[in-house]
Amino acid sequence: MLSAVRSFALRRVTVAVAVCILLGIAVARCTGSGVVTSGPQISYTCCSAGITAKPYHSGQQLRLRWIEQDNTAAASSKHVAITLTAILVGPYSTVGALKAANGKGPDHARIIATAPRIVITNATASAPVSVLRIPAGTAPGLYNLQYTIGFGIGKGAGTESASTVITVR
């Protein structure tokens, strides 16, 4: 009798484990991000090194050429939208003052120019260019050119930001 009880209990446990495994597989297939990709993901970085090599003047346009790069992190995720933004913040008299004011993000009180946002909605290659116009009458000094790459929309979205210093004379 004891053997029959053990056999029955063992079968119930086996069936319960099998049901849990099957349910786990079914749930895993039904969940996840609602955004699906159809190809490899790409990312961008901003600007060639030459952007900081020359001084700029008030009224001048900065053409920021976004550089395409493979992005392993984005490729493993399911994001399809990439948002590219750029702002110009300043003026500052020293690099130390610029870094102190922008150390935890841009100094919003000193944003003098914002490039129109570029949204890339698929994983195909393109060569986007942002244009920042330095306003007429802009004071000479050092300016923080900050650019941001946003990945995805909604839950799981993220951003990467970087900046460089340009001179306005």
pLDDT of residue 147: 93
CA distance linking residue 148 with residue 160, whole number of Å:
6
pLDDT of residue 75: 46
Q: Which residues, listed in sequence order, are joined to residue 162 by a DSSP beta bridge?
A: 147
Cβ pair 47, 127 in contact under 8 A: no
| Burial class, 84, CB count within 10 angstroms (exposed 0-12 / middle 13-18 / buried 19+) | buried
Exposure string (b/e) for 31-51, b if CB count within 10 Å is 16 or more?
A: eeeebeeeeebbbbebbeeeb
- What would the pLDDT profile of 54-101 be if each residue is shown by its tens digit? 999 999 999 999 988 765 544 444 546 888 999 999 999 999 999 999
First to last CA, the chain: 96
- What would the pLDDT profile of 12-54 be if each residue is shown by its tens digit? 544 444 444 433 433 333 333 333 333 446 678 888 778 888 9
Cβ pair 57, 120 in contact under 8 A: no
11 — pLDDT class (breaks 50, 70, 90): low
pLDDT of residue 28: 35
Q: Return the SS3 of 145.
A: strand
- What would the pLDDT profile of 119-166 be if each residue is shown by its tens digit? 887 655 578 999 999 999 999 999 999 999 888 767 777 888 999 999
| Burial class, 82, CB count within 10 angstroms (exposed 0-12 / middle 13-18 / buried 19+) | buried
Which of 166 and 3 is assigned the larger pLDDT? 166
Predicted TM-score (pTM) of the model is 0.68
pLDDT of residue 39: 40
Mean pLDDT (whole number) for 113-117:
96
Query: Please, what is the Cα angle at 141 between 105 and 146, to 5 degrees?
Result: 30
Cβ pair 121, 151 in contact under 8 A: no
> Residue 23: what residue type?
L
